[in-house]
Amino acid sequence: MTTDPLLEVSDLSVEFRSHGQTHQILNGISFTVERNEIIGLVGESGSGKSTTARSIIGLLPATGRGFGQITFDRDEIDVGSTKRVRSIRGTQIGFVAQNPFDALNPILSIERQFFNVMRAHEKVSRQQARARAESLLRSVGITDTHRVLAGHAHELSGGMAQRVVIAIALSLDPKLLIADEPTTALDLTVQRQVLDLMRDIILTSGRSMLLVTHDLTVVATYCHRVAVMYRGDILEIGDVETVFTAPKHEYTRALLDSASGKALTADRILSS
């Protein structure tokens, strides 16, 4: 274990206000994302995975309030300071959500969307943006870059659209990618392709990924470590092999038992 994590989340709490009541959703969780690692965040629906992901990038809804500290690449930020949290989103932390069509603008060309994202953070000419967009699209396995750039979101399949979203998320060269169920909306075969691609891009470029998923097979195949969430707490965190073969917590054991009885660690690609 290194002592210089890329992201350190300390004592993160989130409350939501509704109908004059306050509900505590995250109960002061702490974890790290190491450099060049893929860490999975698992847990049943409603356990707080998306809230965790969103509070790290300042995307909580207006009714939500975050407390705690995050240290990103040695820079300490108060989670309550939405402005500072948001300033690292996009440039240093890329975000990929479940539905690519929510992330893409329906009326702007794909080329324009690349340009807008790049230009919001740095001075680029149209030509520079286009050249970089083409290379990013190729890196996510899209070969007919001209057609895709000139087109609009609705002309793309779900898998292609999610590749475009990943390429846009990578366009500012973030050190960390946070992906919240990035393939849940895609066909099964496409899920694999997109996850393979994300893993390869992340690991070969020295980046890290926080991969939110409810699918333990995905964790077994793609993650180095895993954090198990339950009702706003992290119950346990550790190497996938260790957590899956010798879970410390009864809840983790139940989660593993319910995961179709498959030998989850049998086809581990990321051994050690």
Ligand X SMILES: Nc1ncnc2c1ncn2[C@@H]1O[C@H](COP(=O)(O)OP(=O)(O)O)[C@@H](O)[C@H]1O
Q: Is 56 in the site for ligand X (CB under 6 A)?
A: no
Q: Is 50 in the site for Mg ion (CB under 5 A)?
A: yes
Task: Supply the minimum distance, in Å, between the C-beta of residue 82 and ligand X.
Answer: 15
Nearer to Mg ion, 32 or 50 (CB): 50
Neighbours of 86 (CB within 10 A): 12
Nearer to ligand X, 17 or 147 (CB): 17
Residues 25-44 that bind ligand X (CB under 6 A): 25, 43
Considering only 31-39, 45-53, 132-140, 233-241, which stretch makes contact with ligand X by CB under 6 A? 45-53
130 binds, among Mg ion, ligand X, none (CB under 5 to 8 A by kind): none
Per residue, the 3-state secondary structure of 215-232, as one string, reads: CHHHHHHHCCEEEEEECC
Nearer to ligand X, 163 or 225 (CB): 225
Unique residue bearing structure tokens 């500012």 = 172
Residues in contact with ligand X, total (CB under 6 A)?
14
Neighbours of 185 (CB within 10 A): 18
Beta strands in the chain, from DSSP E residues, in sequence order: 7-18, 21-33, 38-42, 64-72, 75-78, 93-96, 176-180, 208-212, 225-230, 233-239
* CA dihedral angle for residue 55, residue 174, residue 73, residue 37, rounded to 10 degrees: 90
Beta strands in 128-270, from DSSP E residues, in sequence order: 176-180, 208-212, 225-230, 233-239
Name residue 22's beta-bridge partners: 17
46 binds, among Mg ion, ligand X, none (CB under 5 to 8 A by kind): ligand X
Q: Is 48 in the site for ligand X (CB under 6 A)?
A: yes
Could you give the CA distance from residue 167 to residue 15 in angstroms, rounded to a whole number? 32
x/- map, 90-109, ligand X, by CB under 6 A: --------------------
Contact (Cβ atoms closer than 8 angstroms) between residue 157 and residue 186: no
Task: Supply the minimum distance, in Å, between the C-beta of residue 111 and Mg ion.
Answer: 31
Member of 2, 22, 30, 63 binding ligand X (CB under 6 A): 63
Q: Is 213 in the site for ligand X (CB under 6 A)?
A: no
List contacts with ligand X (CB under 6 A): 16, 18, 25, 43, 45-51, 61, 63-64
List contacts with Mg ion (CB under 5 A): 49-50
